Structure 1
Amino acid sequence: MCLVHNNDSRSRKITKVKNCFKRQTKWTLVSFELNLLSVSPFCVCVLCVWPLYVVKSECVGREEQKQREGKILSMAAIASLQAIHLNFGRRGSIRCGISEPSGEPAPVGQKTRYNDGLAERVFMGLFARKMDKFGGSKKKNEMKEKGFWDYDYESFVEVSKRVMQGRSRTQQQEVVREVLLSMLPPGAPEQFRKLFPPTKWAAEFNAALTVPFFHWLVGPSQVIEVEVNGVKQRSGVRIKKCRYLENSGCVGMCVNMCKIPTQDFFTNEFGLPLTMNPNFDDMSCEMIYGQAPPAFEDDPATRQPCLADICSMSNPSSPVCPKLHA
């Protein structure tokens, strides 16, 4: 009897070790894949979201297990994304495409130099071509349709300016919403709501994903701790010097083409509240996932005057940027 008991005990221990090894191997492979594909933020996004979707779909009716496994997956993905960001940080000029000697954005008043790679050019081309469909009249030297690889960041900003021309504030925001929806597969917002209910871990996961995923658009950023409804959490993202604001120099473009539509898209389409607080003095910006945005009339950013020194469309005599009017 003692021998049988010892054999059963040994068998259970061996099984336990095997299962533990499988789990460790699984997460090691996931982490390896995430780091291997760190050059493509889109691939990182797919690899992070897909396993979450599988867990959610296979655990219907088991809320406790769903939450536990979802948290484990998000923690593994966040760790991998942070490792990616740290690896970029050690390479100086490669980090976020910045080619400044310091590896950091240039001081206010100076334009930051970027060395965009393949992934950055892909995103610029995708967004610019989508927005170009809503653009107004082109300059004579731009009448010929651009190829996918002909777009750089400057031309992406020029397309944004043409979209803004002749449109009201709300029309500009609606264009951005349509462009964002056109970039997603059918039913994506509904799936996002299932994958990321408005919880602390969902807010923190999306904050971590923002750093590598949006560096092509806004430049280098980092996850920071913020307070949401009295709870401290790492669901904030601090953009050091927004590339979009730096290149456009326009308060109206920042608010109407980025801040408001992005807040609205995450809050209303995805069901995850987001507040963005741009600082027009140093061109930094703070994103807070999990915090509901204020009403337009209560938002300090909507009462900002033009940046007369850098905006070619500015109206220095107006106390508020004219593009912020309805």
Structure 2
Amino acid sequence: MALLGRVAILSLPSGALSEPKLHRQTRNFRASGLSTRSEQLSDTNAKPQYNPGFLDHLFLNLFRNKMAQEIGWDSKKPGYDGLIEVANRLMIGRSNSETREAAVRILKSLFPPLLLELYQMLIAPIGEGKVAAMMVARVTALSCQWLMGPCTVNSVDLPDGSSCASGVFVERCKYLEESKCVGICMNTCKFPTQTFFKDSMGVPLLMEPNFSNYSCQFKFGVLPPLPDDDSSLQEPCLEICPNASRRRAATSDLEALKCPKA
């Protein structure tokens, strides 16, 4: 879920650092508090490496605390593994639409009062929305690598035929890969994040996850299709889904192979 990290830290609860002891290496710490991407291995299947920094731990704990408050439950596992357990729990006992609504509430709770309204009123209209789209793309790429892994700002085509540096390309989404589930990606990340940026910040967003290589393309300034028309919902379960191999062994029906949580 995309966060405007520089602003979200203003609403940091007092217990946000109560999770695992923060580990910091001086050579990886910059003034911003965000670590940088390390060199990738030559193996194309190797996971992109990202070494979390001080602010990354703050953002993770803030986000996890907000999720736990929404659910009324927290995992006993520390760090990112615990976050994934909480994300799974968010879907239990809820319909897909209820899960998406809960995820939107979590995103909104990360921001100080009035900030989202002011952004939508004052920034979103500038330059036909392009300024706001480019701003959130840069903040997303800067502040969300703790959640998604290495990502970069890139240029995307807009509906008016122009192009704009309002995209964010995630090389290999850690959240998708660690959750091992198309449904969790759709209902706790893609759809609620698209809704949040459009409705709360006035910035349209289309997210295009690639379930074959776990990359994801964010396109700020581009309206997404209606959820029922989104081709992502037709995707089969991930190869790494623990339940997918059993379904593939039982049937070759493409409809039956679609993620039941999506």
Same fold (TM over 0.5): yes
Deviation at 1:208, TM superposition (A): 1.7
Deviation at 1:104, TM superposition (A): 6.5
Contact 2:49-2:150 at 8 Å conserved across structures? no
Deviation at 1:106, TM superposition (A): 7.4
Contact 1:277-1:286 at 8 Å conserved across structures? yes
Deviation at 1:281, TM superposition (A): 0.8
In structure 2, the residue matched to 1:321 is: 259
In structure 2, the residue matched to 1:217 is: 147
Q: Which amino acid aligns with 1:287?
A: F
Contact 1:250-1:311 at 8 Å conserved across structures? yes
Q: Which structure is richer in relative contact order (CA contacts within 8 A, separation 6 or more)?
A: 2
In structure 1, the residue matched to 2:241 is: 311
- What pairs up with 1:79-228 in 2 under 5 angstroms? 94-96=35-37, 102-103=39-40, 107-108=44-45, 114-135=50-71, 142=76, 151-198=78-125, 199-228=129-158
Compared CA separation, residues 218 and 160, structure 1 to 2 (3 A): same
In structure 1, the residue matched to 2:226 is: 295
- What pairs up with 1:231-270 in 2 under 5 angstroms? 231-270=162-201
Q: 1: CA distance between counterparts of 2:74 and 2:140?
A: 32
5+ residue gaps in structure 1?
1-40, 47-86, 89-93, 143-149
User: Percent identical across equivalent pairs?
Assistant: 37
Contact 1:304-1:320 at 8 Å conserved across structures? yes
Deviation at 1:222, TM superposition (A): 1.1
5+ residue gaps in structure 2?
10-27, 30-34
Deviations 1:193-249 (A, max 9, x none): 023215222212221221111111111111111110211111111111111011111
Secondary structure of 1:255 counterpart: helix
Bigger radius of gyration among the two? 1
Contact 2:208-2:218 at 8 Å conserved across structures? yes
Please, what TM-score do these two structures have when normalized by structure 2?
Answer: 0.76
Q: 2: CA distance between counterparts of 1:104 and 1:174?
A: 39
Compared CA separation, residues 44 and 169, structure 1 to 2 (3 A): closer
Contact 1:135-1:160 at 8 Å conserved across structures? no
RMSD, aligned CA: 2.8
Deviation at 1:264, TM superposition (A): 0.4
Q: 1: CA distance between counterparts of 2:43 and 2:79?
A: 19
Deviation at 1:105, TM superposition (A): 10
Deviation at 1:290, TM superposition (A): 0.6
Contact 2:119-2:201 at 8 Å conserved across structures? yes
Q: Which amino acid aligns with 2:260?
A: P
Secondary structure of 2:225 counterpart: coil
Compared CA separation, residues 196 and 165, structure 1 to 2 (3 A): same
Compared CA separation, residues 160 and 105, structure 1 to 2 (3 A): farther
The alignment status of 1:278 with 2:209, answered yes or no, reads yes
Q: 2: CA distance between counterparts of 1:205 and 1:254?
A: 24
Contact 1:211-1:222 at 8 Å conserved across structures? yes
In structure 1, the residue matched to 2:23 is: none
